[in-house]
Structure 1
Protein backbone atom coordinates (compact mmCIF):
# COMPACT_ATOMS: atom_id res chain seq x y z
CA UNK A 1 0.00 0.00 0.00
CA UNK A 2 1.25 3.51 -0.81
CA UNK A 3 -0.51 6.82 -0.43
CA UNK A 4 0.96 9.75 -2.34
CA UNK A 5 0.03 13.34 -1.65
CA UNK A 6 -2.65 15.02 -3.71
CA UNK A 7 -3.71 18.67 -3.73
CA UNK A 8 -7.00 18.00 -1.93
CA UNK A 9 -7.46 19.37 1.58
CA UNK A 10 -6.29 17.08 4.35
CA UNK A 11 -6.33 17.10 8.13
CA UNK A 12 -3.93 19.53 9.86
CA UNK A 13 -0.39 18.30 9.36
CA UNK A 14 2.47 17.88 11.77
CA UNK A 15 5.46 19.96 10.69
CA UNK A 16 8.48 17.72 10.27
CA UNK A 17 10.68 20.24 8.47
CA UNK A 18 11.52 18.92 5.02
CA UNK A 19 9.06 16.03 5.25
CA UNK A 20 7.83 16.66 1.71
CA UNK A 21 11.18 15.31 0.50
CA UNK A 22 10.92 12.16 2.61
CA UNK A 23 9.06 8.93 1.90
CA UNK A 24 8.13 6.74 4.84
CA UNK A 25 7.77 2.97 4.65
CA UNK A 26 6.29 1.07 7.58
CA UNK A 27 7.23 -2.59 7.63
CA UNK A 28 6.20 -5.54 9.75
CA UNK A 29 6.38 -9.31 9.59
CA UNK A 30 2.89 -9.83 8.22
CA UNK A 31 -0.17 -11.32 9.90
CA UNK A 32 -0.90 -15.03 9.57
CA UNK A 33 -4.23 -14.88 11.38
CA UNK A 34 -6.71 -12.44 12.80
CA UNK A 35 -10.01 -11.04 11.51
CA UNK A 36 -8.40 -8.75 8.92
CA UNK A 37 -4.77 -9.36 8.07
CA UNK A 38 -2.46 -6.36 8.46
CA UNK A 39 -5.42 -4.16 9.43
CA UNK A 40 -3.42 -2.12 11.95
CA UNK A 41 -0.55 -1.61 9.52
CA UNK A 42 -2.89 -0.23 6.86
CA UNK A 43 -4.70 1.96 9.38
CA UNK A 44 -1.48 3.43 10.79
CA UNK A 45 -0.20 4.12 7.28
CA UNK A 46 -3.31 6.09 6.40
CA UNK A 47 -3.29 8.02 9.69
CA UNK A 48 0.35 9.04 9.28
CA UNK A 49 -0.38 10.28 5.77
CA UNK A 50 -3.23 12.39 7.12
CA UNK A 51 -1.05 14.08 9.72
CA UNK A 52 2.34 14.68 8.11
CA UNK A 53 3.41 16.08 4.76
CA UNK A 54 5.54 13.17 3.59
CA UNK A 55 5.71 12.81 -0.18
CA UNK A 56 4.68 9.17 0.23
CA UNK A 57 3.61 6.89 3.05
CA UNK A 58 3.81 3.22 2.15
CA UNK A 59 3.65 -0.05 4.00
CA UNK A 60 4.86 -3.55 3.33
CA UNK A 61 5.37 -6.89 5.00
CA UNK A 62 8.04 -9.56 4.88
CA UNK A 63 5.46 -12.31 4.44
CA UNK A 64 2.14 -11.76 2.70
CA UNK A 65 0.84 -8.67 0.97
CA UNK A 66 1.72 -5.93 0.30
CA UNK A 67 5.36 -7.01 0.06
CA UNK A 68 8.08 -4.71 1.31
CA UNK A 69 9.63 -4.62 -2.17
CA UNK A 70 6.41 -3.19 -3.61
CA UNK A 71 6.25 -0.54 -0.90
CA UNK A 72 9.84 0.52 -1.52
CA UNK A 73 9.29 0.82 -5.26
CA UNK A 74 6.19 2.95 -4.75
CA UNK A 75 8.15 5.14 -2.37
CA UNK A 76 10.86 5.61 -5.02
CA UNK A 77 8.24 6.59 -7.59
CA UNK A 78 7.19 9.52 -5.39
CA UNK A 79 10.62 11.10 -5.99
CA UNK A 80 11.93 11.47 -2.43
CA UNK A 81 15.41 12.55 -1.42
CA UNK A 82 15.36 9.93 1.34
CA UNK A 83 13.33 6.89 2.35
CA UNK A 84 12.84 6.26 6.06
CA UNK A 85 11.94 2.67 6.90
CA UNK A 86 10.27 2.20 10.27
CA UNK A 87 10.16 -1.44 11.46
CA UNK A 88 7.02 -2.24 13.44
CA UNK A 89 8.85 -5.05 15.23
CA UNK A 90 9.13 -5.41 18.98
CA UNK A 91 12.87 -6.06 18.92
CA UNK A 92 15.92 -6.12 16.71
CA UNK A 93 17.23 -9.45 15.59
CA UNK A 94 17.14 -11.73 12.60
CA UNK A 95 14.14 -10.28 10.78
CA UNK A 96 15.15 -6.64 11.17
CA UNK A 97 18.92 -6.88 10.95
CA UNK A 98 19.20 -9.69 8.39
CA UNK A 99 16.01 -10.32 6.42
CA UNK A 100 14.86 -6.71 6.09
CA UNK A 101 18.36 -5.38 5.46
CA UNK A 102 18.98 -8.02 2.79
CA UNK A 103 15.75 -7.31 0.96
CA UNK A 104 16.34 -3.57 0.96
CA UNK A 105 19.87 -4.06 -0.36
CA UNK A 106 18.67 -6.46 -3.04
CA UNK A 107 16.36 -3.77 -4.40
CA UNK A 108 19.37 -1.61 -5.36
CA UNK A 109 17.25 1.51 -4.91
CA UNK A 110 18.35 4.82 -6.47
CA UNK A 111 17.40 6.69 -3.28
CA UNK A 112 19.17 6.56 0.10
CA UNK A 113 17.36 4.40 2.63
CA UNK A 114 17.64 4.79 6.39
CA UNK A 115 16.24 2.08 8.66
CA UNK A 116 15.20 3.36 12.07
CA UNK A 117 15.37 1.28 15.27
CA UNK A 118 12.27 -0.91 15.67
CA UNK A 119 9.26 0.38 17.55
CA UNK A 120 9.82 -2.08 20.39
CA UNK A 121 12.98 -0.20 21.35
CA UNK A 122 11.28 3.19 21.50
CA UNK A 123 11.58 4.90 24.87
CA UNK A 124 8.00 6.07 24.35
CA UNK A 125 6.50 2.58 24.21
CA UNK A 126 6.48 1.68 27.95
CA UNK A 127 4.22 4.62 28.82
CA UNK A 128 1.70 3.60 26.18
CA UNK A 129 1.76 0.02 27.47
CA UNK A 130 1.27 1.26 31.01
CA UNK A 131 -1.68 3.47 30.05
CA UNK A 132 -3.38 0.68 28.12
CA UNK A 133 -2.77 -1.85 30.91
CA UNK A 134 -4.20 0.48 33.53
CA UNK A 135 -7.26 1.11 31.37
CA UNK A 136 -7.89 -2.62 30.94
CA UNK A 137 -7.41 -3.24 34.67
CA UNK A 138 -9.99 -0.60 35.51
CA UNK A 139 -12.46 -2.00 32.98
CA UNK A 140 -12.08 -5.42 34.63
CA UNK A 141 -12.52 -3.79 38.05
CA UNK A 142 -9.08 -4.98 39.10
CA UNK A 143 -7.38 -2.88 41.74
CA UNK A 144 -3.95 -2.09 40.18
CA UNK A 145 -2.14 -2.28 43.52
CA UNK A 146 -3.36 -5.86 43.88
CA UNK A 147 -2.86 -6.82 40.24
CA UNK A 148 0.05 -8.40 38.44
CA UNK A 149 1.12 -6.89 35.13
CA UNK A 150 2.36 -9.72 32.91
CA UNK A 151 4.24 -8.31 29.94
CA UNK A 152 4.08 -10.94 27.22
CA UNK A 153 6.29 -11.06 24.17
CA UNK A 154 6.94 -13.47 21.35
CA UNK A 155 10.29 -14.78 22.51
CA UNK A 156 12.59 -16.84 20.33
CA UNK A 157 14.18 -20.27 20.31
CA UNK A 158 17.24 -19.05 18.44
CA UNK A 159 18.17 -15.65 19.87
CA UNK A 160 17.92 -13.37 22.90
CA UNK A 161 16.87 -10.09 21.30
CA UNK A 162 13.15 -10.56 21.93
CA UNK A 163 13.68 -11.52 25.56
CA UNK A 164 16.12 -8.66 26.11
CA UNK A 165 13.77 -6.08 24.62
CA UNK A 166 10.87 -7.41 26.68
CA UNK A 167 12.94 -7.30 29.87
CA UNK A 168 13.94 -3.71 29.15
CA UNK A 169 10.31 -2.65 28.71
CA UNK A 170 9.38 -4.51 31.90
CA UNK A 171 12.03 -2.59 33.84
CA UNK A 172 10.53 0.67 32.63
CA UNK A 173 7.01 -0.45 33.57
CA UNK A 174 8.18 -1.11 37.13
CA UNK A 175 9.13 2.56 37.49
CA UNK A 176 5.49 3.65 37.14
CA UNK A 177 4.91 1.97 40.52
CA UNK A 178 1.22 1.26 39.91
CA UNK A 179 0.80 -2.51 39.65
CA UNK A 180 1.54 -4.94 42.45
CA UNK A 181 4.31 -6.53 40.40
CA UNK A 182 5.56 -6.70 36.84
CA UNK A 183 6.61 -10.02 35.32
CA UNK A 184 7.41 -11.25 31.83
CA UNK A 185 6.20 -14.21 29.81
CA UNK A 186 6.77 -15.51 26.31
CA UNK A 187 5.09 -17.69 23.75
CA UNK A 188 8.21 -19.43 22.45
CA UNK A 189 10.66 -19.51 25.35
CA UNK A 190 10.62 -19.71 29.16
CA UNK A 191 8.97 -18.42 31.18
CA UNK A 192 6.04 -19.52 29.03
CA UNK A 193 2.78 -17.62 29.28
CA UNK A 194 0.83 -20.77 30.09
CA UNK A 195 3.12 -21.54 33.03
CA UNK A 196 3.11 -17.99 34.36
CA UNK A 197 -0.68 -17.93 34.35
CA UNK A 198 -0.93 -21.31 36.06
CA UNK A 199 1.56 -20.29 38.76
CA UNK A 200 -0.35 -17.24 39.99
CA UNK A 201 -4.14 -17.20 40.26
CA UNK A 202 -4.33 -13.58 41.34
CA UNK A 203 -5.76 -10.85 39.11
CA UNK A 204 -3.51 -10.35 36.10
CA UNK A 205 -3.36 -7.93 33.21
CA UNK A 206 -1.54 -9.41 30.22
CA UNK A 207 0.12 -6.63 28.25
CA UNK A 208 0.70 -7.80 24.70
CA UNK A 209 4.10 -6.76 23.38
CA UNK A 210 3.07 -7.63 19.83
CA UNK A 211 2.99 -5.55 16.66
CA UNK A 212 -0.37 -6.78 15.41
CA UNK A 213 -3.31 -9.10 15.92
CA UNK A 214 -1.64 -11.98 14.17
CA UNK A 215 -1.58 -15.64 15.10
CA UNK A 216 0.04 -15.20 18.52
CA UNK A 217 -1.67 -12.04 19.68
CA UNK A 218 -5.12 -12.95 18.42
CA UNK A 219 -5.28 -16.68 19.18
CA UNK A 220 -2.53 -17.88 21.53
CA UNK A 221 -2.94 -15.42 24.39
CA UNK A 222 -6.74 -15.79 24.78
CA UNK A 223 -6.30 -19.57 24.48
CA UNK A 224 -3.78 -19.59 27.34
CA UNK A 225 -6.18 -17.65 29.55
CA UNK A 226 -9.00 -20.08 28.81
CA UNK A 227 -6.89 -23.22 29.21
CA UNK A 228 -5.46 -22.19 32.57
CA UNK A 229 -8.65 -20.67 33.92
CA UNK A 230 -6.58 -17.65 34.94
CA UNK A 231 -8.15 -14.56 36.45
CA UNK A 232 -6.64 -12.52 33.65
CA UNK A 233 -7.57 -9.90 31.09
CA UNK A 234 -5.67 -9.04 27.93
CA UNK A 235 -4.80 -5.63 26.52
CA UNK A 236 -4.52 -6.92 22.98
CA UNK A 237 -1.48 -6.27 20.82
CA UNK A 238 -0.04 -2.86 21.66
CA UNK A 239 0.92 -2.37 18.03
CA UNK A 240 -2.75 -2.02 17.10
CA UNK A 241 -3.39 0.85 19.51
CA UNK A 242 -4.37 4.12 17.78
CA UNK A 243 -1.76 6.07 19.76
CA UNK A 244 0.96 4.08 18.02
CA UNK A 245 0.55 6.67 15.26
CA UNK A 246 1.59 9.43 17.68
CA UNK A 247 4.58 7.37 18.74
CA UNK A 248 5.70 6.72 15.16
CA UNK A 249 5.33 10.39 14.22
CA UNK A 250 7.37 11.40 17.26
CA UNK A 251 10.14 8.98 16.31
CA UNK A 252 10.10 10.24 12.72
CA UNK A 253 10.21 13.81 13.99
CA UNK A 254 13.25 12.99 16.11
CA UNK A 255 14.92 11.54 13.04
CA UNK A 256 14.07 14.69 11.07
CA UNK A 257 15.75 16.82 13.72
CA UNK A 258 18.86 14.65 13.52
CA UNK A 259 18.91 14.97 9.74
CA UNK A 260 18.38 18.75 9.65
Structure 2
Protein backbone atom coordinates (compact mmCIF):
# COMPACT_ATOMS: atom_id res chain seq x y z
CA UNK A 1 0.00 0.00 0.00
CA UNK A 2 1.34 3.50 -0.77
CA UNK A 3 2.43 5.57 2.21
CA UNK A 4 1.96 9.26 2.86
CA UNK A 5 4.36 10.81 5.38
CA UNK A 6 2.95 13.95 6.99
CA UNK A 7 5.76 16.26 8.08
CA UNK A 8 5.41 19.29 10.36
CA UNK A 9 7.92 21.67 11.91
CA UNK A 10 7.55 20.56 15.51
CA UNK A 11 8.96 22.24 18.60
CA UNK A 12 12.79 22.21 18.84
CA UNK A 13 12.83 23.13 22.54
CA UNK A 14 10.46 20.28 23.49
CA UNK A 15 9.99 17.93 20.51
CA UNK A 16 8.06 15.04 22.07
CA UNK A 17 4.65 16.72 22.65
CA UNK A 18 4.61 18.11 19.11
CA UNK A 19 5.60 14.71 17.74
CA UNK A 20 2.71 13.10 19.63
CA UNK A 21 0.27 15.78 18.48
CA UNK A 22 1.27 15.19 14.87
CA UNK A 23 0.80 11.44 15.31
CA UNK A 24 -2.73 12.06 16.57
CA UNK A 25 -3.40 14.27 13.58
CA UNK A 26 -2.05 11.60 11.23
CA UNK A 27 -4.45 9.11 12.80
CA UNK A 28 -7.34 11.41 11.87
CA UNK A 29 -6.11 11.47 8.27
CA UNK A 30 -5.79 7.67 8.33
CA UNK A 31 -9.46 7.46 9.30
CA UNK A 32 -10.31 9.21 6.02
CA UNK A 33 -8.58 6.76 3.66
CA UNK A 34 -8.31 3.03 3.12
CA UNK A 35 -5.99 3.44 0.14
CA UNK A 36 -2.97 4.85 1.98
CA UNK A 37 -0.91 4.18 5.06
CA UNK A 38 -0.37 7.47 6.89
CA UNK A 39 2.86 8.13 8.81
CA UNK A 40 4.13 11.26 10.55
CA UNK A 41 7.35 12.95 11.64
CA UNK A 42 8.44 16.42 12.72
CA UNK A 43 11.57 18.20 11.58
CA UNK A 44 12.39 19.11 15.17
CA UNK A 45 12.55 15.65 16.76
CA UNK A 46 16.18 14.47 16.40
CA UNK A 47 16.48 11.65 13.87
CA UNK A 48 12.72 11.15 13.60
CA UNK A 49 12.35 12.36 10.02
CA UNK A 50 15.38 10.44 8.78
CA UNK A 51 14.12 7.22 10.37
CA UNK A 52 10.65 7.71 8.89
CA UNK A 53 12.06 8.38 5.42
CA UNK A 54 14.29 5.29 5.60
CA UNK A 55 11.24 3.15 6.39
CA UNK A 56 9.14 4.43 3.49
CA UNK A 57 8.45 2.03 0.63
CA UNK A 58 9.22 2.90 -2.97
CA UNK A 59 5.66 4.10 -3.48
CA UNK A 60 5.54 7.02 -1.06
CA UNK A 61 4.99 10.75 -0.90
CA UNK A 62 5.43 13.51 1.67
CA UNK A 63 2.73 15.94 2.74
CA UNK A 64 4.16 19.10 4.37
CA UNK A 65 1.79 20.29 7.09
CA UNK A 66 2.81 23.92 6.67
CA UNK A 67 0.89 27.04 5.73
CA UNK A 68 3.33 28.42 3.14
CA UNK A 69 5.59 26.96 0.51
CA UNK A 70 8.67 28.54 2.02
CA UNK A 71 12.21 27.56 3.01
CA UNK A 72 11.22 24.63 5.23
CA UNK A 73 9.16 23.02 2.46
CA UNK A 74 11.40 23.81 -0.51
CA UNK A 75 14.87 23.50 1.06
CA UNK A 76 15.06 22.13 4.63
CA UNK A 77 12.74 19.17 4.06
CA UNK A 78 14.18 17.95 0.69
CA UNK A 79 17.71 18.20 2.11
CA UNK A 80 16.83 15.62 4.76
CA UNK A 81 15.44 12.89 2.49
CA UNK A 82 18.75 11.00 2.36
CA UNK A 83 18.96 11.47 -1.40
CA UNK A 84 15.64 9.72 -2.05
CA UNK A 85 13.48 11.18 -4.83
CA UNK A 86 10.26 11.21 -2.84
CA UNK A 87 7.55 13.57 -4.14
CA UNK A 88 6.80 16.47 -1.80
CA UNK A 89 3.23 17.71 -2.23
CA UNK A 90 2.11 21.31 -1.87
CA UNK A 91 1.51 22.37 1.74
CA UNK A 92 -1.87 22.80 3.37
CA UNK A 93 -1.91 26.61 3.34
CA UNK A 94 -1.78 26.91 -0.45
CA UNK A 95 -4.29 24.15 -1.22
CA UNK A 96 -6.79 25.63 -3.71
CA UNK A 97 -9.72 23.94 -1.96
CA UNK A 98 -8.86 25.29 1.48
CA UNK A 99 -10.81 28.59 1.22
CA UNK A 100 -13.98 26.73 0.16
CA UNK A 101 -13.68 24.16 2.96
CA UNK A 102 -13.00 26.86 5.53
CA UNK A 103 -15.87 29.02 4.30
CA UNK A 104 -18.29 26.08 4.52
CA UNK A 105 -17.20 25.37 8.08
CA UNK A 106 -17.40 29.03 9.07
CA UNK A 107 -20.92 29.33 7.68
CA UNK A 108 -22.00 26.59 10.07
CA UNK A 109 -20.19 28.19 13.00
CA UNK A 110 -21.68 31.60 12.20
CA UNK A 111 -25.19 30.20 11.77
CA UNK A 112 -24.90 28.41 15.12
CA UNK A 113 -24.25 31.84 16.65
CA UNK A 114 -27.43 33.21 15.00
CA UNK A 115 -25.38 35.57 12.87
CA UNK A 116 -24.77 36.07 9.17
CA UNK A 117 -21.35 36.35 7.48
CA UNK A 118 -22.07 39.99 6.66
CA UNK A 119 -22.35 40.84 10.36
CA UNK A 120 -19.43 38.70 11.54
CA UNK A 121 -16.00 40.35 11.71
CA UNK A 122 -13.24 37.76 11.18
CA UNK A 123 -9.63 38.09 12.31
CA UNK A 124 -7.12 35.80 10.64
CA UNK A 125 -4.22 35.37 13.07
CA UNK A 126 -1.14 34.32 11.08
CA UNK A 127 2.57 33.76 11.65
CA UNK A 128 4.19 36.18 9.23
CA UNK A 129 7.94 36.61 9.02
CA UNK A 130 10.56 39.27 9.53
CA UNK A 131 12.72 37.72 6.80
CA UNK A 132 10.39 36.69 3.97
CA UNK A 133 7.29 38.25 2.44
CA UNK A 134 5.94 34.85 1.39
CA UNK A 135 4.10 33.82 4.63
CA UNK A 136 2.24 37.14 4.78
CA UNK A 137 1.39 36.95 1.09
CA UNK A 138 -0.09 33.46 1.52
CA UNK A 139 -2.15 34.57 4.54
CA UNK A 140 -3.42 37.69 2.79
CA UNK A 141 -4.30 35.74 -0.37
CA UNK A 142 -6.19 33.20 1.74
CA UNK A 143 -8.04 35.98 3.58
CA UNK A 144 -9.07 37.59 0.29
CA UNK A 145 -10.31 34.27 -1.11
CA UNK A 146 -12.15 33.40 2.12
CA UNK A 147 -13.83 36.81 2.21
CA UNK A 148 -15.05 36.31 -1.34
CA UNK A 149 -16.38 32.82 -0.60
CA UNK A 150 -18.27 34.04 2.46
CA UNK A 151 -19.59 37.17 0.82
CA UNK A 152 -18.41 38.94 3.94
CA UNK A 153 -16.63 42.25 4.47
CA UNK A 154 -12.84 42.17 4.15
CA UNK A 155 -11.18 40.05 6.80
CA UNK A 156 -8.63 41.54 9.14
CA UNK A 157 -5.22 39.86 9.09
CA UNK A 158 -2.72 40.14 11.94
CA UNK A 159 0.68 38.53 12.44
CA UNK A 160 2.88 37.21 15.22
CA UNK A 161 6.16 38.28 13.64
CA UNK A 162 5.32 41.37 11.58
CA UNK A 163 2.91 44.26 11.25
CA UNK A 164 0.00 44.63 11.52
CA UNK A 165 0.04 42.66 14.73
CA UNK A 166 -2.76 40.37 15.85
CA UNK A 167 -3.46 42.81 18.67
CA UNK A 168 -3.96 45.63 16.17
CA UNK A 169 -6.18 43.51 13.92
CA UNK A 170 -8.37 42.40 16.84
CA UNK A 171 -8.97 45.79 18.44
CA UNK A 172 -12.39 47.41 18.56
CA UNK A 173 -14.41 44.26 17.90
CA UNK A 174 -17.35 42.97 19.93
CA UNK A 175 -18.63 39.51 20.79
CA UNK A 176 -19.88 38.88 17.24
CA UNK A 177 -16.27 38.58 15.99
CA UNK A 178 -14.39 35.36 15.24
CA UNK A 179 -10.64 34.75 15.34
CA UNK A 180 -9.30 31.96 13.13
CA UNK A 181 -5.59 31.11 13.63
CA UNK A 182 -3.96 30.47 10.23
CA UNK A 183 -1.73 27.70 11.55
CA UNK A 184 -1.45 24.01 10.70
CA UNK A 185 -1.18 22.62 14.25
CA UNK A 186 -1.50 23.76 17.82
CA UNK A 187 1.93 24.91 19.03
CA UNK A 188 3.85 27.58 20.86
CA UNK A 189 2.52 30.52 18.87
CA UNK A 190 -1.10 29.42 19.09
CA UNK A 191 -0.88 28.43 22.75
CA UNK A 192 0.93 31.58 23.90
CA UNK A 193 1.36 34.38 21.36
CA UNK A 194 -2.07 34.43 19.72
CA UNK A 195 -4.11 34.33 22.99
CA UNK A 196 -1.82 36.93 24.54
CA UNK A 197 -2.38 39.28 21.60
CA UNK A 198 -6.13 38.75 21.70
CA UNK A 199 -6.19 39.41 25.45
CA UNK A 200 -4.20 42.62 24.93
CA UNK A 201 -6.73 43.73 22.32
CA UNK A 202 -9.64 43.04 24.68
CA UNK A 203 -11.01 40.55 22.17
CA UNK A 204 -14.30 39.04 23.41
CA UNK A 205 -15.33 37.13 20.29
CA UNK A 206 -15.07 33.44 19.46
CA UNK A 207 -11.57 31.95 19.42
CA UNK A 208 -11.56 29.06 16.96
CA UNK A 209 -9.14 26.13 16.78
CA UNK A 210 -6.21 26.47 14.40
CA UNK A 211 -7.17 26.05 10.77
CA UNK A 212 -5.39 22.70 10.46
CA UNK A 213 -7.56 21.27 13.24
CA UNK A 214 -10.86 22.07 11.52
CA UNK A 215 -12.97 18.94 10.84
CA UNK A 216 -12.75 19.00 6.99
CA UNK A 217 -8.94 19.16 6.83
CA UNK A 218 -7.95 15.48 7.40
CA UNK A 219 -10.18 14.38 4.52
CA UNK A 220 -8.64 17.06 2.29
CA UNK A 221 -5.15 15.76 3.02
CA UNK A 222 -6.23 12.17 2.41
CA UNK A 223 -7.65 13.17 -0.98
CA UNK A 224 -4.44 14.94 -1.94
CA UNK A 225 -2.40 11.87 -1.08
CA UNK A 226 -4.70 9.54 -2.99
CA UNK A 227 -4.68 11.85 -6.03
CA UNK A 228 -0.88 11.88 -6.01
CA UNK A 229 -0.66 8.10 -6.40
CA UNK A 230 -3.56 7.86 -8.83
CA UNK A 231 -1.82 10.41 -11.04
CA UNK A 232 1.44 8.50 -10.79
CA UNK A 233 -0.19 5.33 -12.06
TM-score of the pair, normalised by structure 1: 0.79
Q: Which residue of 1 aligns with 2:217?
A: 244
Structure 2: runs of 5 or more not aligned: none
SS at structure 1 position matched to 2:63: strand
Q: Which residue of 2 aligns with 1:224?
A: 197
Q: Which has the larger radius of gyration?
A: 1
Q: Which residue of 2 aligns with 1:194?
A: 167
Tell me the matched-pair count.
Answer: 230
2-structure distance, mates of 1:135, 1:66: 41
1-structure distance, mates of 2:199, 2:112: 19
User: In the alignment, is residue 108 of structure 1 matched against residue 83 of structure 2?
Assistant: yes
- Conserved 8 A contact 2:129-2:135: yes
Higher mean C-alpha deviation, range 183-192 or range 58-67: 58-67
Q: 1:30/1:245 Cα in 2 relative to 1: closer, same or farther (>3 Å)? A: same
How far 1:66 sits from its partner (Å)? 7.3
Residue 58 of structure 2, aligned match among 81, 88, 95: 81
1:203-214 mapped onto 2 (5 Å cutoff): 203-214=176-187
User: In the alignment, is residue 93 of structure 1 matched against residue 70 of structure 2?
Assistant: yes
Residue 7 of structure 2, aligned match among 7, 27, 32: 27
1-structure distance, mates of 2:224, 2:144: 21
Structure 1: runs of 5 or more not aligned: 1-19
User: In the alignment, is residue 45 of structure 1 matched against residue 18 of structure 2?
Assistant: no
SS at structure 2 position matched to 1:247: helix
SS at structure 1 position matched to 2:157: strand
How far 1:141 sits from its partner (Å)? 5.1
How far 1:143 sits from its partner (Å)? 4.4
More strand by share: 1
TM-score of the pair, normalised by structure 2: 0.87
